[in-house]
Amino acid sequence: MPTTRHVHDVQSVTSAPEARTEDQARRLKQYLITMAIRTACFILLVVVDAWYRWIFAAGAVFLPFVAVVAANAVMPRVSGRVRPVLPVVDPTPQLTRAPHEPWESEGSATDR
């Protein structure tokens, strides 16, 4: 019985995408750092009594938005990694009849 070999592209280690858990850990770390800066902005907003207090206020207000958007940003796919799936005709001979073919009976009324 002959066997067929399929040629597959080998996944290179350098072109492999970042693991999902590593990506989530990186985004969580970035979120926590941004929220720590926001907490520092709140503390400096209360402590500092100068004109740049408003910079700390803006940081305390807008950093949560920046942190959430950055945490939800997933790395884009690298082009060339996803290929379309094209239909292929299977050349394997079939042992049974096709479902749309009628049964042929011997000595039918039309043969007489």
Q: Is the pLDDT of residue 18 over 80?
A: no
* Digit-coded pLDDT (tens) for 36-80: 999 999 999 999 998 889 999 999 999 999 999 888 887 665 665
CA distance 74 to 68: 12
pLDDT tens for each residue of 74-95? 766 566 566 677 788 888 877 7
Q: What is the residue extent of each domain of the chain?
A: 20-72
Higher per-residue confidence, 36 vs 11 = 36
pLDDT at residue 110 tops 60: no
**Could you tell me which of 86, 88, 92 has the C-alpha nearest to residue 3?**
92
What's the pTM?
A: 0.53
Burial class (CB in 10 A: 0-12, 13-18, 19+), 31: middle
